[in-house]
Structure 1
């Protein structure tokens, strides 16, 4: 082969990763934002100042085709199980405070697997949202060794209350720590990094921020940085937020919350450097779904929001950084997402899958290592929506409140904003996608979480959300 041809092939297949067979296992930190939209980060053109997330994108690998579910609990469950939430009845809605439901205990969570290969410390900090009615659903019974945060979603950022009761915990105990929840979670993460790094064993930390999810509440210092004027009225309370921390406008308050989140992420990254473990620590950052409509977030140039399978609801900002292995400043268009987190991390640390429950996600490590430029696959988005490297199909009889009269097909490479339905122009592609989606539509569980509002009337939360 001629030298020019060899050089060409090297450049085409040049790996994102510089790899060795005999490296120590990395520390792993998964940082999950709550309702952060595609257009809410600076590197996607946001007006919000996110210097630390931008720096993470510059130093890490941007995954620009990273998919999640359009609502919270299903994404969180899928990232910890590697399986579609249809497998355990958690696709259609989240787990509300009044619901006696949790992820089936036969499901194997990621930290359970990591415990078998030397990860002695496995912490979850922040929003759990995967079951709180029974002790069997508690994080410390799902493979984690430490829990600090809240069981429910939409807690008050300052009082940490939900449904009139304190929902803030340290392992099994109530925590009376005072402060803004974003700050408290950041402080706990930094303290854990310091302790775990001193012990020497690799650790796993899942930092599940509740920002910038409603209620829209921000610290005054962050509001002032966004132009807040205390002499002017605060935004109206039509949605019944009724909490402290509201700015002059919804957008101003939301921006302040994202800014605070960004600072917290920056402090976590700084802690890795200060404890000399940055190079061999994997940091994976993404959002659990698209922006909540009407709450200040942005889908950028993508169509749709949270609650919808349009790209704006399910395609989120995502970055992976691993200084000793992954070349910074690169962009990957590999179709990947929440269900791939577990199999990819297990592949990295050398865990062989022996579960009786087959994973739906795949390891994208071959792409990271440069062994494959892309892995072609179908990725199910739920509600009869399917995406692959080029195409996206949404069936009219399954769309979540999108009022489609007909099935729609989009060529995402040329039309990422889903403006032009090309089903008629590409009948063979449409037929192939319709056939491919059938296997996903046939996934069913014996029961599923009931509609969100069912059981709310008359519900009284347990004292300090203690699990009996």
Structure 2
């Protein structure tokens, strides 16, 4: 009997060892955190030249890696489509926005052939968590829990108030979703805080498992409406009395000091639509500086909450084995409406519950320093984002590199870091091949920029661009004329070289039309909505009225 027991025990141990090894292997995989802010410009955090207090992001930058060149898709929903799937937006089904224009590339929600980060990582043993803004499909069949996320808290459409009914009683209820169940923000709660409250709760619950985790944390801030906590606004009282002309010069000087802006780079020329600060009246200055005080407060609160995430990682002893990536979904939003603009629907002072102001073009001109143009445009100010990557185990701190990366590169990067297999078949569907390249060689100091072997492409509402090496062509709807810039010297896009180098224009244009055909891009004039609405600051038709400015 004793001999039988010993043999049985040995067999049990033999069977258990592989399982224990598997658990150990799973927990040795890196945790992944993807943080995105909304409508924030290139220079709006300290490590990219800002005066806004962002010590936690600055810590990640100092201990990690920054890119000078990282591209998004210039507007909310298309950016999210590419980020979540590793596909160009049209290939993922969100070529225009989260509205259906009647073609597969423009259906307004993620198609099944474009697998989300959560779907792939979950299949590879990860817990998948999300807290924040979705905005890639309104139908509940395509909500986060139905697209691979184990846990979700946040909102589905393109924007949200930050407060429920407050002192002024004008803010409508803020409807949020937690794992497919609707709930409302309570009076006194602030959305940015609640997003991270839930993210931290998810991390605590996930810590009971033996799995690594992927956390997607897309903030609403600093997207309009400008609403912030009084204590955060108070920190910036008087900071913007100097106005946008002086502030832009301060940011340019800081960018040069940091090495974000190289000495040989030309900066964008002054936006002629932005009035000189010194020409404004006293009352006009009071209105304008209040906008930037609130905008800064919103970014400050995001950074405070990122600090809470870092503290939680340390508490859980997961800080050394976690990759964090931080980006913005597009450049700051333009939309100069004149210095006498009367805020619409405002139920209280700028920043309070019920106020509906936004940053507007004069301050967005500063936010996008040193670049040209704004959200929804394919010049550098429209789709250039700060990029910070932090991973103590694998990323050498304090680096600033060229990068030249795109949203489509995030998915292959995360999959390589996680040792994840991208499936050839997923629930009976053959997934699209990934469009981007892994950033791992750049993140681990094996390269200073992505070697992709092909150009990068953009199209949104008729606006188009191609980046090939240091050359970039861009056209702004309704014009179909290409401009050409040498970004190695002129990232401010101050000198159009199209007339001097028609050979380059023709080469990149031919590349564009081949890409457009294989990606499903359609001439915008053939599919644009019947009731287009202009995005402020743009002469091009933007999303329909219900979706404008998201």
TM-score, reference length from structure 1:
0.81
User: For residue 314 of structure 2, what is the aligned residue in structure 1?
Assistant: 273
CA distance in 2, matches of 1:109, 1:131: 13
User: For residue 115 of structure 1, what is the aligned residue in structure 2?
Assistant: 122
Structure 1 runs not aligned, ≥5 long:
1-20, 230-245, 460-468
User: For residue 305 of structure 1, what is the aligned residue in structure 2?
Assistant: 374
State the aligned residue count. Answer: 413
Greater shift, 184-193 or 259-268, is seen at: 184-193
How far has the Cα of 1:92 moved from its partner?
A: 2.6
Greater relative contact order structure (CA < 8 Å, 6+ sep): 1
How far has the Cα of 1:22 moved from its partner?
A: 11
How far has the Cα of 1:328 moved from its partner?
A: 1.0
User: For residue 184 of structure 2, what is the aligned residue in structure 1?
Assistant: 176
Structure 2 runs not aligned, ≥5 long:
1-24, 101-105, 240-286, 336-358, 425-429, 534-542
Does the alignment pair 1:138 with 2:143? yes
Q: What is the SS of the residue equivalent to 1:384?
A: strand
User: For residue 109 of structure 2, what is the aligned residue in structure 1?
Assistant: 102
CA distance in 1, matches of 2:50, 2:446: 34
Question: 1:160/1:57 Cα in 2 relative to 1: closer, same or farther (>3 Å)?
Answer: farther
CA distance in 2, matches of 1:247, 1:192: 39
1:344 and 1:363 in contact (8 A); partners too: yes
How far has the Cα of 1:353 moved from its partner?
A: 3.2
Q: Which has the higher helix share?
A: 2
How far has the Cα of 1:135 moved from its partner?
A: 2.4
Question: 1:285/1:87 Cα in 2 relative to 1: closer, same or farther (>3 Å)?
Answer: same
2:164 and 2:185 in contact (8 A); partners too: no
Does the alignment pair 1:71 with 2:75? yes
2:132 and 2:220 in contact (8 A); partners too: yes
User: For residue 439 of structure 1, what is the aligned residue in structure 2?
Assistant: 514
Does the alignment pair 1:381 with 2:458? yes
CA distance in 1, matches of 2:234, 2:375: 28
Q: What is the SS of the residue equivalent to 2:132?
A: strand
Does the alignment pair 1:344 with 2:413? yes
User: For residue 263 of structure 2, what is the aligned residue in structure 1?
Assistant: none
User: For residue 229 of structure 2, what is the aligned residue in structure 1?
Assistant: 219
CA distance in 2, matches of 1:300, 1:24: 40
Mapping for residues 22-171 of structure 1, pairs under 5 Å:
24-95=28-99, 101-119=108-126, 121-132=127-138, 134-159=139-164, 166-171=174-179
TM-score, reference length from structure 2:
0.69
Does the alignment pair 1:424 with 2:431? no
Aligned CA RMSD, in angstroms, stands at 3.0
Question: 1:149/1:324 Cα in 2 relative to 1: closer, same or farther (>3 Å)?
Answer: same
2:130 and 2:199 in contact (8 A); partners too: no
Greater shift, 151-160 or 363-372, is seen at: 363-372
1:391 and 1:410 in contact (8 A); partners too: yes
How far has the Cα of 1:50 moved from its partner?
A: 1.6
Greater shift, 63-72 or 167-176, is seen at: 167-176
How far has the Cα of 1:423 moved from its partner?
A: 2.1
Question: 1:452/1:207 Cα in 2 relative to 1: closer, same or farther (>3 Å)?
Answer: farther
CA distance in 1, matches of 2:50, 2:28: 38
Question: 1:445/1:145 Cα in 2 relative to 1: closer, same or farther (>3 Å)?
Answer: farther
User: For residue 237 of structure 1, what is the aligned residue in structure 2?
Assistant: none
CA distance in 2, matches of 1:24, 1:405: 51
